[in-house]
Amino acid sequence: MPEPFKNFFNADLVAAMAEHLARQSPQFDAGLFSKRALDGLDALELKQRSNHITDALSASLPGDFRAACAILVGALHPEDDVDLSELSSDARGLRGWAVLPMAEFVARGGLDDFDHSMDVLKEMTKRMSAEFAVRPFIAADTKRAMRHVSRWAKDGNYHVRRLASEGTRPRLPWGMRLNVFVADPSPILPVLETLRDDPQDYVRRSVANSLNDIAKDHPDLVARIAGNWLTGNPGKNRERLVRHACRSLIKAGHRPTLGTLGYGPAQVALDGLSLDRDTVHMGETLRISADIRSTATSEQEVIVDYVVHHRKANGSTSPKVFKWKTLRLAAGERMVFEKKHSLRAVTTRTYYGGRHVVEIQANGQRLGERAFTLVV
């Protein structure tokens, strides 16, 4: 079983931080930092551990903000244009998970030294993304922050370019929501356009995720952007980006988006929908079978998804769309689809016993449903 992310914040990480920070200045109290950082660390979860280490930094670094930042930046690993996701600190300096609490230190104390803080976060993101730490600056002074972001989008380091798109996402998971861009995403659109053909897939996926965020509040806008970006000869990379950006709109059956991507109203019939059981116990797998027939007189592109309407605590249901098949159906062609759906506990959902519903949709159109009872 994979190691929980929270365990990356451990005694070894604290020791590495203490060693490298102490090398930069005698003003850094390594003993106090280690004691404060390790006290109660194991009992905390991921974000709590990071914040706990930030508290220890605040207690141990000099009170002068720029002097503290100089120590933090000086302790960073030399810049490497490499994938940082699996890298950790070594004898050359700090990178990876150790940088998260360092960036949070800048976010907490740097608003009064705005431009310097943004430059520090730019350096930190080369060793681990500063996408969470940059958001308070964007919220505090959007225009000023976007001047930095616009430059980052053209930087030679692809981690910095990704920060330009990831740091400005309106609804970044686990990050501060940027309500200014939820309401009006227009300031970030030029940045996304600059990065849409970036040579790094890591950056392009961030652009797609930002557009997917925007789609939650401005679906028609994203459909128009998708159409514009697909005009002419966009290339395979941009086509993949647009499809990934529109994934939530596709699942929702947003007609303008489906039309842009070449999907018309589905001309199909659901000749059969079956579940392998009427009652499912928590932890079991439900088998779904759908018999779909084209009613069109010519070939058509069809996206088949299934929706599970989960029962909530108050007895109502909440739909969750799951991708199934994307295919071409010939005129009159019939296909049977089968799927195993796991009903095991996950951290992102609380299951409640009772009536649930499986529904089939094609190009966003509802075709039919069957109910089952979940026993928890």
Overall average pLDDT of the 63-85 stretch? 89
Q: Which of 360, 260, 256 is nearest to 303 (CA)?
A: 360
Domain with CATH 1.25.40.290 in the chain: 5-260
139's CB contacts (< 8 A; 6+ apart) are 176, 178, 179, 180
Residue 3 pLDDT > 60, yes or no? Answer: yes
What local confidence, expressed as pLDDT, does residue 80 receive?
76
Residue 169 pLDDT > 60, yes or no? Answer: yes
Q: What percent of the chain has pLDDT over 70?
A: 98
Positive or negative torsion for Cα 183, 187, 190, 191:
negative
31's CB contacts (< 8 A; 6+ apart) are none
What local confidence, expressed as pLDDT, does residue 2 receive?
62
Q: Quick one: tokens of 242? A: 């647009």
Q: Indicate the pLDDT class of residue 97, thresholds 50, 70 and 90.
A: very high
What local confidence, expressed as pLDDT, does residue 347 receive?
78
Read off the pLDDT of residues 33-52 as tens digits, 9 standing for 90 and up. Answer: 999 999 999 999 999 999 99
What local confidence, expressed as pLDDT, does residue 345 receive?
87
Q: Indicate the pLDDT class of residue 346, thresholds 50, 70 and 90.
A: confident
Q: Indicate the pLDDT class of residue 127, thresholds 50, 70 and 90.
A: very high
Q: Homologous superfamily of 268-375 in CATH? A: Immunoglobulins (2.60.40.10)
Read off the pLDDT of residues 183-236 as tens digits, 9 standing for 90 and up. Answer: 999 999 999 999 999 999 999 999 999 999 999 999 999 999 999 999 999 999
Q: Which of 102, 96, 95, 178 is nearest to 136 (CA)?
A: 178
Count how many residues are written for the chain: 376
Overall average pLDDT of the 122-126 stretch? 97
Q: Mean pLDDT for the chain?
A: 95
What CATH class does 5-260 carry?
mainly alpha
CA pair distance 211, 223, nearest whole angstrom: 10
Overall average pLDDT of the 165-172 stretch? 98
Q: Indicate the pLDDT class of residue 351, thresholds 50, 70 and 90.
A: very high
CA angle 174, 180, 185 (to 5 degrees): 95
Domain with CATH 2.60.40.10 in the chain: 268-375
What type of residue is 324? Answer: W
What local confidence, expressed as pLDDT, does residue 79 receive?
85
Question: From residue 151, how far is each of 86, 146, 194, 331, 361 by CA, in Å?
Answer: 27, 9, 11, 52, 43
CA pair distance 120, 66, nearest whole angstrom: 10
CA pair distance 49, 60, nearest whole angstrom: 17
Q: Indicate the pLDDT class of residue 81, thresholds 50, 70 and 90.
A: low
Q: Indicate the pLDDT class of residue 348, thresholds 50, 70 and 90.
A: confident
What local confidence, expressed as pLDDT, does residue 368 receive?
97
